[in-house]
């Protein structure tokens, strides 16, 4: 089974309507290039540019039942292609940073809100948003078969627990909308999450010159060793440049599954009875 993933590494237009129209056009291009799934960068509805004054922030947030989101549900069914659309979501008491995954029939498989928000006490960070409270994994139906898919969003990547809980829930592929500079160390984090959990990670970033972003959307396929190779292999099977574009990468799902059956990372030799301190709230 091979899965073709489209990274919609796009510059936002400055308006909800413009982003919707540009996003639709990019999805059409992705389908023309044979994609099975298209992934947007983080908070595409507003281009990861949101006001911090409460009334303005609320007016910028949209519902998952909004016309914007429903357009991508309809489009997924029309194109026979899954779409992971991102948005600033209406939520109480504060909006959330959300990705909705629609399968190729237009059905919403999950709505995931960023668990680890960027709340650094700075004027322009995500402290004005609510964080999500759960991780989700769903069976994504493709024309060649099913694959178990989950999501992280940007800063979630920096917490090993995010990818670990998704692996324990059965994820084979993580879709990761992003909005930050993907430099050596952040790319290394993705490599590490893929390595230690034996799963694939597809990250879609904004291109340069979007503020604080530089493209470099990536696909790490999670396969470190193959029987026919004497040493390790490069799990990074795709890395985009800094420029805007629709980029396609192929994930060999059969190779990943074979690897997971024979190798020892992921869940095989864990000792969860010794890890209680990781989640002990009294130590926080």
Domain containing residue 58: CATH number: 3.60.110.10
Residue 81 located in a structural domain: yes
Q: What is the mean pLDDT of residues 137-159?
A: 97
Beta-ladder partners of 122: none
Residue 197 dihedral angles phi and psi, to the nearest 5°: -110, -5
Do 17 and 120 meet the contact criterion of CB atoms below 8 Å apart? no
Q: Report whether 47 contacts 13 (CB < 8 A).
A: yes
Tokens of 199: 């799963």
Length of the chain equals 284
How much is the pLDDT for 123? Answer: 66
Task: Compute the chain's Rg from CA coordinates.
Answer: 18
273 belongs to a structural domain: no
Residue 283 reports pLDDT greater than 80: no
pLDDT band at 122 (very low <50, low <70, confident <90, very high): confident
Under the banding of pLDDT at 50, 70 and 90, the label for residue 277 is: confident
Q: Output the CA–CA distances (angstroms, integers) from residue 32 to 2, 185, 247, in the order listed.
A: 17, 34, 12
**225, β-bridge pairs:** none
Residues linked to residue 175 through DSSP beta bridges, in sequence order: 151, 202
Assigned domain for 12 exists: yes
Q: Is residue 236 situated within a structural domain? A: yes
User: How far is CA 67 from its chain centroid?
Assistant: 22
**281 in a domain, yes or no?**
no
pLDDT of residue 282: 63
Q: In the numeric block, which tokens belong to residue 26?
A: 């990019």
CA 273 to chain centre: 30
Poorest-pLDDT segment among 31-35, 105-109, 146-150, 224-228: 224-228
Is the residue at 275 inside a domain?
A: no
Q: Using alpha carbons, select from 177, 178, 195, 182 the residue that is nearest to residue 235.
A: 195
**Segments forming the whole domain that contains residue 141:** 2-267
- Residues 191, 235 contacting (CB under 8 angstroms): yes
Count of domains for the chain: 1
Which among 186, 147, 215, 115 has a CA at the least distance from the CA of 4? 147
Contact present, 14 and 47 (Cβ < 8 Å): yes
Query: Which helix (H) or strand (E) element contains residue 141?
Result: strand 137-142
Please check whether residue 41 lies inside any domain of the structure. yes
* pTM to 2 decimal places: 0.96
Q: Write b or e for each residue in 174-188: b if 16 or more Cβ atoms lie within 10 A of its Cβ, otherwise e.
A: bbbbbbbbbeeebbe
Give me the long-range contacts of 23-30 (CB less than 8 A, separation at least 24). 23/72, 23/85, 24/71, 24/72, 24/75, 26/246, 27/72, 27/75, 27/79, 27/81, 27/83, 28/79, 29/246, 30/6, 30/81, 30/246, 30/248
Please answer whether residues 147 and 137 qualify as being in contact, where contact means their C-beta atoms are separated by less than 8 angstroms.
Answer: no
CA–CA gap between residue 91 and residue 80 (Å, rounded)? 30
Provide the pLDDT for residue 273.
Answer: 86
- Tell whether the model's pLDDT for residue 284 goes beyond 70: no
**pLDDT for 7-22, tens place per residue?**
999 999 999 999 999 9
Asked if residue 57 belongs to a domain, the reply is: yes
**Banded pLDDT at 274 (limits 50, 70, 90):** confident
Give me the mean pLDDT over the 70-85 stretch. 98
């Amino acid at each position: 089974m091979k899965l073709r993933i489209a990274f919609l590494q796009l510059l936002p237009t400055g308006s909800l309507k413009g982003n919707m129209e540009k996003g639709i056009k990019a999805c059409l291009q992705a389908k023309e290039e044979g994609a099975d799934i298209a992934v947007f960068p983080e908070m595409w509805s507003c281009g990861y540019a949101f006001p911090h004054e409460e009334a303005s922030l609320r007016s910028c947030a949209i519902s998952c039942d909004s016309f914007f989101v429903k357009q991508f549900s309809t489009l997924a069914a029309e194109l026979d292609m899954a779409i992971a659309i991102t948005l600033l979501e209406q939520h109480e008491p504060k909006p959330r940073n959300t990705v909705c995954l629609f399968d190729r029939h237009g059905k919403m498989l999950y709505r995931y809100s960023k668990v680890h928000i960027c709340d650094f006490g700075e004027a322009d960070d995500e402290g004005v948003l609510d964080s999500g409270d759960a991780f989700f994994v769903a069976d994504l139906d493709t024309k060649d078969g099913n694959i178990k898919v989950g999501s992280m969003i940007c800063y979630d990547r920096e917490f090993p627990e995010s990818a670990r809980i998704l692996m324990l829930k059965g994820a084979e592929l993580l879709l990761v909308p992003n909005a930050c500079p993907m430099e050596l160390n952040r790319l290394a984090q993705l490599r590490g999450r893929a390595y230690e959990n034996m799963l694939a990670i597809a990250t879609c970033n904004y291109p340069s010159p979007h503020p604080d972003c530089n493209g470099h959307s990536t696909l790490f396929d999670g396969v470190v060793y193959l029987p026919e190779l004497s040493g390790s292999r490069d799990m990074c099977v795709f890395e985009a440049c800094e420029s805007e574009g629709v980029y396609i990468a192929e994930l060999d799902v059969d190779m990943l599954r074979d690897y997971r059956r024979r190798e020892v990372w992921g869940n095989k030799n864990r000792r969860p009875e010794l890890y209680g301190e990781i989640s002990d709230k009294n130590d926080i």
